[in-house]
Amino acid sequence: MSDSYDIVVIGAGPAGYHAAIRAAQLGMSVACVDKTLGANGEASLGGTCLNVGCIPSKALLDVSHRFATTKDFAALGLKVADVELDLAGVQAHKDSVVQKLTSGVGMLFKGNGVTPYQGVGSLLPGSDVKVTKPDGSEETLVAKHVILATGSEPMRIGAAPVDNDRIVDSTGALEFTEVPKRLGIIGAGIIGLELGSVWARFGSEVVVLEALEKFLPSADERIARDALRSFTKQGLDIRLGTRVLHSENYGDGVRVTYLVNDEEQSLECDKLIVAVGRAPYTAQLLDDDSAVNLDERGFIFVNEQCETDASDVYAVGDAVRGPMLAHKGMEEGVMVAERIAGAKPSVNYDCIPSVIYTHPEIAWVGQTEQELRENGQDYKAGSFSLGANGRALASADAEGMVKIVSDADSDRILGVHVLGPQASELIAQAVIAMEFGATAEDLGLIMFAHPTLSEAVHEAALGVAGHAIHAVNRQRRK
Ligand code: FAD
Ligand code: AMP
């Protein structure tokens, strides 16, 4: 007899495991099917994020940042003997964090009564799920509701086919056992910049080839400009307007040919990272007769509530429209579990924070000035430089700024943009303020502890009305 559940979730990444745990908390019987195997051949829950995404990349970013900043110690009055890189030790640290968190999801499943299944899940017509186990055996789970959370995979381009040796994707780039002397990266998006930062700090000469003429087009224009200058100073050679045409092995490395101003140029490197984006992953997921549809870009088609075209089947996370971010999938997973339980929550897609974990970090939520201008919306802006923030100066880490834009009439905050250390943490204040419909004046009236980086958020809010204290305001108002 088949096992039956109130909910079967396919995919145990952040979107799927949040859905599963929340549904179990709400008293439903839940199974979660996932196919990922760790290096030890055992199930490794947590999806891309915990295994080969957010977490391992942040482990390498944080360690490499500490390594790179030791050279600044002398200016702070600290003498250290030469700091040496032990890359095997760094990788062991990264792997142990991944192991701790992926096994932690297993423990959370156990504690909440979620039944895990190892294997590939496929949605059969209706809402039953077939699980194909690693040994090839099959089992059918009977489900009242199914949540598809199969995530995404690195996008491929014919111009640089990944061979997992010289040409790697983001997963391969987290596993280098030696620091490449010359590292090429295709794509100056979030993943390309983060991985480029890691290996540049460890000593690689990094060249980033980016097809677009504009650097980080979704970020605030001023912040993107300042960030480009900062990354260039750190040794990232970011070449905009360069479209990669093809790549070929030569000697021990790769020769990449690219087009710039209609002229072919080439780059020789030891390793090449392809970081041109991610595509939704739905291989083997849908039976031919399933009523679930994909959109024209291959995402599972859903409405605002993450309902697919098939009744009782939902889809969440990277496999559906919207930014491919772990926290966006987590909130969708929780929303769907609660809606199945009869509640009516929704996800506020206008308030999703974006973060790039370089140094300085870049974080934003809401709209940019350029978007508001394009939409013809009147707005006010206030910004504050970390160069005038006591805490940032005390920590010798004062590169960056906070910018707040608010509606010209209502003063309601429309967007907050941060470049600086801990921008990823500072942006949470902006998300909270915007979720509560705060005005810039509201933020300006709140007391912030001194000395903190957060005071820059306060000052930027005061700056919207022209009365930041530690800045000479261009417009003076009462
Ligand atoms: P996934 O995490 O991709 O999980 C899907 C799971 O489903 C996987 O385990 C997969 O094997 C499994 N699966 C797929 N099909 C089936 C099937 N048919 N049967 C069974 N199992 C199946 N996002 C952030 O928000 N912050 C970051 O700092 C960040 N850094 C990143 C760094 C890198 C290098 C990368 C690659 C990504 C990063 N991301 C980051 C993106 C983030 O990892 C994804 O947005 C997130 O993992 C998506 O979650 P998900 O649950 O939708 O899918
Ligand atoms: P993201 O979508 O944020 O992961 O960023 C991926 C980046 O890769 C985008 O900015 C693309 O413009 C860039 N890109 C895609 N294809 C190419 C290519 N053939 N050559 C150079 N850059 C590319």
Q: What average pLDDT values come out for the chain (478 residues) when binned by 10 residues?
A: 93 99 98 95 96 98 97 93 95 98 98 98 96 97 98 98 98 98 98 98 98 98 98 98 97 96 97 98 94 97 98 98 98 98 98 98 98 98 98 98 98 98 98 98 98 98 96 65
CA neighbor of 366 nearest in space, from 325, 317, 406: 406
Distance CA 109, CA 20 (A): 8
Q: Given ligand 1 and candidates 52, 54, 141, which is best to mutate, with the most ligand atoms within 8 Å of its CB?
A: 54
Q: Is the pTM of this model over 0.85?
A: yes
* Sheet (strand 205-210) strand order: 167-168, 271-274, 182-186, 205-210, 236-240
Distance CA 196, CA 110 (A): 38
Is the bond preceding residue 217 a cis peptide, omega within 30 degrees? no
Find tokens 């009523």 and name the residue: 291
Distance CA 307, CA 124 (A): 17
Amino acid at 139: E
Task: Identify the pLDDT of residue 391.
Answer: 98
CA-nearest residue for atom 15, ligand 2, is 276
Any atom of ligand 1 within 6 Å of the Cβ of 11? yes
Task: Identify the pLDDT of residue 472.
Answer: 85
> Tokens at residue 353, please?
């924070």
Distance CA 224, CA 339 (A): 39
The residues carrying an active-site annotation are: 450
Any atom of ligand 1 within 6 Å of the Cβ of 196? no
Any atom of ligand 1 within 6 Å of the Cβ of 330? no
Q: Which ligand is nearest to the CA of 45?
A: 1
Distance CA 454, CA 203 (A): 33
